[in-house]
Amino acid sequence: MSGRKKDCQIPAGKSDPGNINTRWNDEDVLPPVLSRDTDFVFRRMTVETLDAAQTKNGRRILDVGCGRAMDAVSLAERGGNLFGCEPSRVKLRKAREWLDQKKASVTLVSSIAEDLPFSAGVFDRVMCKGAMDHFMCPEKAVAEMCRVASPDGRVVISVANFESLSCTLGKFLNRVHRKITGRPVSGPHIWEVPEDHTYKFDYASTLSLVRRHMRGISIQGVSLFWGFPRWSNFLEAIPRPWARMALRSLDRIASWRPAWSDVLIVTGRPLGQLSRSERKNEDG
């Protein structure tokens, strides 16, 4: 299914985005041992997203779709005043366990992203890492994130790019392999949208969505060739320092060409709201 429509779309055969699973659990989403490329992309995604969301000590930060609150705790440990919202009761329970374990302070709220229970303009940063393609309506979610962000604040959103260079070349290789052998390449197929996703995003659809709600937009690309057939096997076969060097080199290319990258990290300010400095300039 093409990802080039003007808006995000529901992949064929996926679950109804109107049904919110309040008992969703990610226990079985990832294998117990991550491949080198998977470990790399998750780490880089987290580093870049948290760095973009960090602000001055004591400033309010909202983590939308906070899951187990691991990222929220990391930002709280850096001095932020953290809030996390999550609709899954299972994930909220695990988040509270994590807070107790880390002795951290994060205000947790049971809420969906499309209807945030906060007043307008109360957060200096609003962050959503790897959750937006699970939402029932990303358009409303982004609008809500921008509503609760202050005019001087930032909204930071990270999503997987399902039209990355890895996905595009992987699909091509799979078609050729099927034509020659009559069967697909061995999995996993990174270009196939997972069952727990309700929407598919790529560079074009992500940019189209955020432009309707944000300004001063920047997009950071993270990682290249994550999940490409046999790539993880190759990385496991070479010495770890060489694998790390290859992954970092490709990551630099992804930062130059975000449309090719495995993960997109979008940062911008709420559209239609003037910052304090802009209001001052207007008042002249």
Three-state SS for the chain is CCCCCCCCECCCCCCCCCCCCCCCCCCCCCCCCCCHHHHHHHHHHHHHHHHHHCCCCCCEEEEECCCCCHHHHHHHHCCCEEEEECCCHHHHHHHHHHHHHHCCCEEEECCCHHHCCCCCCCEEEEEEECCHHHCCCHHHHHHHHHHHEEEEEEEEEEEECCCCHHHHHHHHHHHHHHHHHCCCCCCCCCCCCCCCCCCECCHHHHHHHHHCCEEEEEEEEECCCCCCCCHHHHHHHCCHHHHHHHHHHHHHHHHHCHHHCCEEEEEEEECCCCCHHHHHHHHC
- In this structure, of 124-133, 191-200, 213-222, 257-266, the range with the lowest mean pLDDT score is 191-200
- CATH number for position 140: 3.40.50.150
Average pLDDT over residues 188-195: 89
Crossing angle of helices 240-256 and 36-53, in 10° steps, is 50
Average pLDDT over residues 81-103: 95
| 110 assigned to some structural domain | yes
pLDDT tens for residues 135-148?
999 999 999 999 99
| 263 assigned to some structural domain | yes
| 32 assigned to some structural domain | no
pTM of the model: 0.86
| 65 assigned to some structural domain | yes
- Does 10 score more than 90 pLDDT? no
| 211 assigned to some structural domain | yes
pLDDT tens for residues 42-85?
999 999 999 999 888 889 999 999 999 999 999 999 999 999 99
| 25 assigned to some structural domain | no
Its domain, for residue 270, covers: 41-283
| 2 assigned to some structural domain | no
- Per the structure, the count of domains in the chain is 1
- In this structure, of 41-55, 210-224, 263-277, the range with the lowest mean pLDDT score is 263-277
Average pLDDT over residues 249-274: 93
| 148 assigned to some structural domain | yes
